[in-house]
Amino acid sequence: MPGIDPKVMCHKLSICAEARPVSQRKRKMRMERKLAVETEVAKLLEAGFIREVHYTTWLANVVMVKKPNEKWRMCIDYTNLNKACPKDAYPLPNIDRLVDGASGHGVLTFFDAYSGYNQIPMHPRDEEKTTFITDSANYCYQVMSFGLKNAGATWSLNPIHPPSWIVPFFSITTYQRLMNKVFRHQLGRNMEVYVDDMVVKSRDLEQHVIDLSEVFQQLRKYDMRLNLEKCVFGVSGGKFLGFMLSARGIEANPDKCMAVINMVSPRNLKEVQKLAGRLTALSRFPPCLVEIAKPIVGLLRKVKKFEWSIECEEAFRMLKERLGSPPVLSKPHPQVDMIVYLCVSNEAISAVLIQEVWGQQLIYFISRMLQEAETRYQLLEKVALGLVNAARRLSQYFQSHRVVVLTDCPIAKVLRKPELAGRMMAWSIELSEFDISFEVRGPVKSQFLADFVNELQPRGHFVSDLWTSMWTVPQTVKVVEPI
């Protein structure tokens, strides 16, 4: 199959000079998996992606993984080889920026590359280092294999589970470098790309035809191939990086929401971890997610005995209710101020970004649990920490917009005092790089905002002169738990 010219891009391992080759012992495999390996090897040989090797120093085992469609994916356990390779510091794009950039358009086309990683050749001197063992022979890759460090996704064996369980984690990529080179004139303008996820965006159908022509011209120039079965052309909305995008804005993936809604109450720690992972993928949408899930999150900490309490069940019910009708988030307008609502409780801090464009438009919800030491912070400190956390998590919005913080606490007066001490001084300096102003919170118009504000309403007395040189709370100051 035609692929990328090696002069344009090839994958190099750059193995450390002091690294010693590792030859893994051949692992046993069930007959079903053996047959799947033979079938996959035959396909790779026919495509010219692999070749037989007679003498090798590096040798890895094949690991077969079931796909959601019940078919097998052949992976190679490159654990030892990847440890010998340095990490490529090439940056991946910010996912939130890509999602924001692709949303709010009238016409979208989603592309999927055909055997995307296999279109990039291996550097000739590194081919035999990718050798893997089968029942019939040893083979090495002549193209970039899925599983190599810096290739796009690295697969490593999880010590908690048997060898057949594989955990993917994304690293800096050769593939992203190629995409940035091929589509350097389209990225951000009429196209967004994250590794092998590609979307072409246009305001209308007429412009979309022009944009597609431009993209196909680049694909032909670099001899890249698409998987026609997985491409979707000229639609008003679709899935990109786990989000549903359309002219309306950014919506939660209904499949991910239903995965939580259809879950039964967890019966052990492993099922709680599974629930937590699914909630993390949806954390941008539900207001005060962490505060609601607090009883469930507590089970993830070291406990002697697992106990699914009444509080956990009620939190689980509320989470399902929120995910049954998640809010539609909007694409940020570059010329409009970003408004921040801050809310804190004794154990969580939360924030929401909105913009006033034809009404209040929701942009982003964030929340996190307070660490044990942070729970002892005074109330005004927690509010300041909430703002700092929002600035860190959402720095791309804080850097590109004027930010207006709506809060009833006197945080503005405190942060502007020159005699601040300790962490408040450090936070004040950290926030000084952003264009932030503070205003008193007015009436809340959105139901989701109302839920957010009511869920985590800071209560108590703010005493601003405590935040200069003193860090002890007088007995007269009483912080009441939020309702």
Q: For the segment 225-262, what is each residue's pLDDT rounded down to a tens digit?
A: 898 888 999 999 999 999 999 999 999 999 999 999 99
Superfamily of domain 31-91+116-171: HIV Type 1 Reverse Transcriptase, subunit A, domain 1 (3.10.10.10)
Q: What is the dihedral of CA 92, 94, 99, 105, to 10 degrees?
A: -80
- Give phi and psi for 198, each to the nearest 5: -125, 140
- On the question of a common fold for 95-100+104-114+175-251 and 259-324, the answer reads yes
Q: What is the pLDDT of residue 444?
A: 57
Q: What is the pLDDT of residue 154?
A: 36
Distance CA 340, CA 479 (A): 23
What is the CB-side half-sphere exposure of residue 138 using CA atoms within 13 A? 20
Distance CA 301, CA 25 (A): 37
Q: What is the pLDDT of residue 397?
A: 94
Q: What is the pLDDT of residue 167?
A: 34
pLDDT less than 50: residues of the chain: 153-171, 455-483
CB 238 within 8 A of CB 110: yes
- Which amino acid belongs to residue 110? F
Give the start-to-end residue ranges of the domains of the chain: 31-91+116-171, 95-100+104-114+175-251, 259-324, 338-467
Tokens of 444: 């809340």
- 95-100+104-114+175-251 classified as CATH 3.30.70.270: yes
Question: First vs last Cα of the chain: how many Å apart?
Answer: 64
Q: What is the pLDDT of residue 35?
A: 93
Q: What is the dihedral of CA 221, 226, 232, 234, to 10 degrees?
A: 10
Q: What class, spelled out in words, does domain 338-467 have in CATH?
A: alpha beta
Distance CA 118, CA 191 (A): 23
pLDDT in tens, 317-363: 999 999 998 889 999 998 999 999 988 888 889 899 999 988 888 99
Domain 259-324 belongs to what topology? Alpha-Beta Plaits (3.30.70)
Q: In what order do the strands lie in the sheet with 243-246?
A: 237-240, 243-246, 249-252
Query: What's the per-residue H, E or C state across 359-391?
Result: CEEEEEEEEEECCCCHHHCCHHHHHHHHHHHHH
Q: What is the pLDDT of residue 196?
A: 84
**Of 144, 150, 198, whose CA–CA distance to 173 is shortest?**
150
